[in-house]
């Protein structure tokens, strides 16, 4: 049986993503670096994603350093990283920032499902300071 891909589908891309992450984990361990593997965009015959590599293995420290560098530009304090808040009856923790994402630059972790979500600065300010 051949595993040759004829076209990309959502389930196939999901499986490929998991396989790529597994392969990258080996490279991370071998070289002491951390990869960030973003969303995949795909059509029937191609897919693309952004892959970023950083020195070191602690992704939380990378996120914290990026927060410290960029939070001021959104009117937030470097001390807001890691703070928790409630929104729509769910708890969230601030875990990062995407400075090039003007509408939803704040990355939060949902306490219920451990998934990351992007939120607006206004929502974060209201949750933390009101």
- Tally the C-alpha atoms within 13 A of residue 77's C-alpha that lie toward its C-beta: 7
- Tell which residue, 18, 4, 126, has the closest CA to residue 76: 126
Contact 34, 57 (CB under 8 A): yes
- What are the φ/ψ torsions at residue 44 (nearest 5 degrees)? -60, -30
Q: Tens of pLDDT along 1-21?
A: 467 999 999 999 999 999 999
Claim: this prediction has a pTM higher than 0.85: no
Q: Is 25 helix (H, G, I), strand (E, B) or coil?
A: helix
Average the pLDDT over each of 28-32, 46-50, 123-127 and give the range with the smallest value. 28-32
Q: Tens of pLDDT along 75-103?
A: 999 999 999 999 999 999 999 999 999 89
96 or 59: which leads in pLDDT:
96
């Amino acid at each position: 049986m051949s595993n040759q891909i004829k076209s990309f589908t959502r389930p196939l891309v999901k499986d490929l993503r998991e396989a790529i992450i597994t392969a990258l984990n080996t490279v991370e361990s071998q070289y002491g670096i951390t990869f960030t593997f973003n969303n995949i965009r795909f059509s029937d015959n191609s897919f693309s994603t952004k892959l970023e590599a950083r020195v070191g293995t602690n992704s939380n420290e990378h996120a914290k350093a990026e927060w410290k560098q960029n939070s001021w530009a959104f009117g937030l304090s470097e001390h807001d990283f890691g703070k928790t808040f409630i929104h729509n009856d769910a708890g969230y923790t601030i875990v990062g920032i995407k400075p090039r994402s003007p509408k939803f630059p704040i990355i939060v972790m949902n306490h219920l499902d451990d998934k990351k979500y992007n939120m607006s600065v206004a929502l974060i300010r209201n949750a933390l300071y009101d």
